[in-house]
A and B are shown apart, each in its own frame.
Chain A
């Protein structure tokens, strides 16, 4: 799509790391479904004399996340205080890594092959949660100092669609690396989108607006598209874009300027004296870096000749599934496409999507199922039925053949047995007219007769074998 103005987008993403405890205190980091202020310690309250103690696991996960962004890790990194006054932060400042971040330059490669550069990624503590009422606000400190990795991209993104693709690929890489639960609905990854427009050919970037706190790929794309329209209308009229923070509403589909907390942001960054600097050995970094498993890009290369691009892109949202398909490809490449399509068809049906959150059938179960299908022991419909049943815990340990037998789905290929069923159907008076019509040249009615045989066999007959027998008998 050609646009009148060039779009420049840079994205900051906060990834919640899945540690057991918070970044600076030894309390439960998983406050989902828990009472307000039940996961807090005197450190989170910033009581006098309380000191932060760094969670080593967060350092390790940050390195692994860096590996998932093809980034270099800075052996020397430090913490700084970012001061601001707001009730969501009892300390009066956020501990972050402003001057010396742990993760340096890297990149994320989009499915299109384009690389979006990462400027840096740094560790920091989250703020508490405020709920606003008419005359007061309530503060829940459960989320205070939940470990976040803030990932800052370079302004390499040039369309709303690409912004969506980048966020999605970043999300995938983070869940494959296993550094976050990646639950977008619960804010495990939150995106701030910086967007500016300029005339094609202009060297200087335009004034940018920042859309804060987006948490779905669709809202990222919609908000960026809206912002393009808004800013281009201003520029068309010769007006200026104001540098500001804006909020997005999914319901209204527009961004609106947010009131500023302070007349001018002045964070007065300073070194955090309570946390000694990090000085990581090469060996330590390499060990953690090496824990990053295969990423979507690796699977794209791996399955390039086995699974169609469209199908693969649907399936790549599920790391467990990619691992399972790779296991299958190791033992039987020819079955991979069929099995991938089974999964894709399940995903296309809304009511089945939750299946993929459960344990997947094993590679050997899937290969056996695909083999039965290829030998015509199961019809396509029956194979899919067995496939879906394999996700149920009561069937999960069964072999596909025993399950298919139990469900009475084994397809009848034995020609003697099939002929007997065909004969029985042809003997029925209600098929007499169809037989006569077929003999008179109306070939279309063959389908009706095949259907009758299928019904008689309760779906177990192999339809193409039935069709051949029928044609032979009605000659």
Chain B
């Protein structure tokens, strides 16, 4: 499957990335390679086969509804943000 310049631009805008032409070209090459590899599956007839949700065949894995004190404090987590303001994460204006 061919990956067009347009496909790359679409994905970049969905992810709000800002990339240079060299990066775009590299991405396009990489994605094309991945698609080529995956497209081997096209040799199989997958009609009627459902998408895979789980490879371990686990089911109904859930936890009780109990609050657990977190090891990471609010300060620890906020410290990971590039910028913090009044205990919130400060980001460029979005709307």
Q: Are A137 and B91 in contact (CB under 8 A)?
A: yes
Is B58 an interface residue when CB atoms closer than 8 A count as contact?
A: yes
B5 to chain A, nearest CB (A): 16
Q: For A276, what are the chain B residues with a Cβ–Cβ distance below 8 Å?
A: 53-54, 56, 58-61
Is A388 an interface residue when CB atoms closer than 8 A count as contact?
A: no
Interface size band for B: 35 or more
Select which of B59, B63, B77, B94 is within 8 A of A277 by beta carbon.
Answer: B59
Q: Are B85 and A138 in contact (CB under 8 A)?
A: yes
Is A371 an interface residue when CB atoms closer than 8 A count as contact?
A: no
Consensus secondary structure, chain B interface: loop
A28, B91: Cα distance in complex, Å = 25
Is B4 an interface residue when CB atoms closer than 8 A count as contact?
A: no
A202 to chain B, nearest CB (A): 36
Q: Are A21 and B65 in contact (CB under 8 A)?
A: yes
Q: For B51, what are the chain A residues with a Cβ–Cβ distance below 8 Å?
A: 99, 270-271
A273, B51: Cα distance in complex, Å = 11
B9 to chain A, nearest CB (A): 10
Is B32 an interface residue when CB atoms closer than 8 A count as contact?
A: no
Q: Are B60 and A131 in contact (CB under 8 A)?
A: no
Is B66 an interface residue when CB atoms closer than 8 A count as contact?
A: yes
Is A185 an interface residue when CB atoms closer than 8 A count as contact?
A: no
Within 8 A of B (CB), among A256-293: 259, 262-263, 266, 268, 270-273, 275-280
Select which of B59, B62, B77, B94 is within 8 A of A86 by beta carbon.
Answer: B94
Flag B59-92 by CB within 8 Å of A: 1 or 0 each. Answer: 1111111111010101001101000011111111
Is B18 an interface residue when CB atoms closer than 8 A count as contact?
A: no
A136, B10: Cα distance in complex, Å = 25
Q: For A20, what are the chain B residues with a Cβ–Cβ distance below 8 Å?
A: 65-67
Q: Are B54 and A279 in contact (CB under 8 A)?
A: no
Q: A85-B16, A137-B93, A266-B14 are in contact. Are A21 and B60 (CB under 8 A)?
A: no
Q: A21-B65, A56-B63, A85-B15 are in contact. Are A138 and B72 (CB under 8 A)?
A: no
Known A45-B77, A92-B15, A278-B59; further 16 A-B contacts with Cβ < 8 A: A20-B65, A21-B65, A21-B68, A36-B88, A37-B77, A37-B87, A38-B87, A42-B72, A78-B53, A83-B14, A132-B95, A136-B85, A137-B91, A137-B94, A138-B85, A271-B53
Q: Show 17 A/B contacts (Cβ-Cβ < 8 Å), sorted by A.
A: A20-B67, A21-B67, A26-B70, A27-B68, A27-B70, A41-B72, A53-B62, A84-B14, A86-B94, A99-B51, A133-B93, A135-B93, A136-B85, A136-B92, A138-B89, A139-B89, A139-B90
